[in-house]
Amino acid sequence: MKKRFYITTPIYYPSAKLHIGHAYCTTLTDIFARSKRERGFECYFLTGADEHGLKIQKNAEAKGVTPQQFVDEIVEGFYKLWDLLKISNDDFLRTTQERHIKVVQDAFTKMLNKGDIYLGKYEGWYCRYCEAFWTDTQVGKDHICPDCGREVQRAEEEAYFFKTNKYVSSLLKFYEDNPKFLIPESRKNEMINTFIKPGLEDLCVSRTSFSWGIPVRENNKHVVYVWLDALTNYISALGYGSENEEKYKKFWESEDCEIIHILGADITRFHAIYWPMFLESLGLRKPDREFVHGLLMMKDSKMSKSKGNVVDPYPLVEKYGVDAVRYYLAREINFGSDGSFSPEQFVERINSDLANSYGNLLNRTVSMINKYFEGKIPEYKGQVTEFDGSLESMIDNTIKSYENAMDDLRITEAITYVNELVNRANKYIDETTPWALAKDESKKDELASVMNHLARSIYVASRLYHPVLVCASDKAFTQLGLTEEEANYVNINNKNLLDNHMVNKGEPLFPRLDPLVEVPFINELMSGNN
């Protein structure tokens, strides 16, 4: 039986518009989901919106609308952005949906009845103006509210707590038994050394200082703390605890399904420490893998709405196309490390990898097949020229290395294998010199073999690029005369696939960008003056 995958992004706060850092996380998750599906695996891909909390309540008040109206409008923008970026999610969970609220309340009750949640007192630094509690580190030595800059006071409020220490030893054992749970591995050491070893405090899981949240059923002065609310989305979306648990059984309970959470480095602690504890308290299975990606920086500091140094993905996609943006994000920033967005590198990447290497290879090949074979791709006749063998083994190796890298979420690396194949195919043109072969009638078979090998190289590269270049790869298939069905991944190893297909010359896949025009344009977008 085929293995299944359940893959998730974090659910984003609809406190303001999304920026390219959020688009980065969702796009990379989408690339992984698409690559699995294209290879014939069943994959359920979830994203969503984390709609409760003080910040949203405040932003709504400032705008003079209800919190629900406020999030409804912003979430519309999420849908549009994911549409624009061709995100292939199967579901979109909003934490204000009934299907979610009930699951959170049930989970809270279950933990309370089990004695894992108890009523106590929360002590911290309180900002009267923001009506928010802050920790020692957040207020610093001057005791200043990190949000409004006013002085904060020591205060306490009644709150529910989750007994973290009850689950510490089993969490450490879980890390030990599942070395692949947290990737990259350095994240695990960070969790242990920074948070677990110094001693975990019981986690406050309710608030009384604001009302925009899921009420605690047993005591409705309280709303459920936003992280217990948010993390539960991963199971509520599957119908856990509902009348129809079919999806939950298939994608969470079943051992045939691999559960993968993708998340940014800033929220590792919640996913790697508290989420497994909550699941254990509920008696549920833990995820198989949590992949922590780095943060996209802007001018050496984290891109964030509050700093106002964000890159808006909308105009970027509108101007350069969805493929260029998806490609840049996946290729330029090594998945798992921090990176920074740079207009110069954006233009350079598109020009060198997509316009010059990939687009040009397709363009040259289709032109030559038109010129030398009246548009008909010659049949595969084995290894005819002295260079065919090495190109064929490069194709085989590329497929294997690509699949292995993708399976391990080494997405950037997977793409570089395809780039290398494209470069190799371009070099093959220089080695075989088809223009010279064409002048000599006795070399007709060699020329035919070169065209067939080139067409197949482009097919394989396009197939492997497809999860990233969702539009251009399809155009390449069309130019090679392949139907959607023929282009299917099941044919990736079929050497005769291209035989006798008629090529269709099309527009260049990626027109070259002029850096002198485009770099200033993108800089302007980033300054927010657009």
Residues that bind ligand MSP (CB under 6 A): 10-13, 21-22, 24-25, 50, 230-231, 233, 263-264, 266-267, 295-296, 302-303
Assess contact for 231 and 270: CB atoms under 8 A.
Answer: yes
Mapping DSSP to helix (H, G, I), strand (E, B) and coil, where does residue 40 land?
Answer: coil
Cβ(270)–Cβ(205) below 8 Å: no
Q: How far apart are CA 286 and CA 4, in angstroms?
A: 16
CB of 305 to ligand MSP, least distance (A): 9
Q: Which two tokens stand for residue 317?
A: 């996609």
**Of 49 and 470, which CB lies nearer to ligand MSP in the complex structure?**
49
Torsion of the alpha carbons at 223, 224, 230 and 231, rounded to the nearest 10 = -170
Say how far apart CA 424 and CA 432 lie, in whole Å.
12
Q: How far is the CB of 231 from ligand MSP (least distance, A)?
A: 5
Work out how close the CB of 25 gets to ligand MSP at its nearest, in angstroms, rounded to a whole number. Answer: 5
> Smallest distance, Å, CB 26 to ligand MSP?
8
Question: Which value, to the nearest 10 degrees, does the dihedral of the CA atoms of residues 223, 228, 230, 236 take?
Answer: -100
CB of 318 to ligand MSP, least distance (A): 21
Residue number with the shortest CB distance to ligand MSP?
264
C-beta closer to ligand MSP: residue 23 or 451: 23
Q: Looking at beta carbons only, is 9 or 385 nearer to ligand MSP?
A: 9
Sheet containing strand 203-204, strands side by side: 132-134, 117-127, 153-162, 203-204
Least distance (Å) between residue 426 CB and ligand MSP: 33
CA distance 7 to 285: 15
State residue 125 phi and psi, 5-degree precision: -90, 125
Check if the beta carbon of residue 209 is closer than 8 Å to that of residue 132.
yes
237, 48 contact by CB (below 8 A):
yes
21/481 with CB nearer ligand MSP: 21
Shortest distance in whole angstroms from residue 264 CB to ligand MSP: 2
CB of 262 to ligand MSP, least distance (A): 8
Q: What would the two tokens of residue 111 be?
A: 């933990």
- Token pair listed for 319: 């101007």
Cβ atoms of 366 and 459 within 8 Å: the answer is no
* Opening angle at CA 399, ends 395 and 401, nearest 5: 115
Among residues 262 and 451, whose Cβ is nearest to ligand MSP? 262
- Nearest to ligand MSP of 361, 526 (CB atom): 526
Q: Closest CB to ligand MSP among 266 and 318?
A: 266
Which of 24, 125 has the CB closer to ligand MSP? 24
Q: Tokens representing 362? A: 């397709």
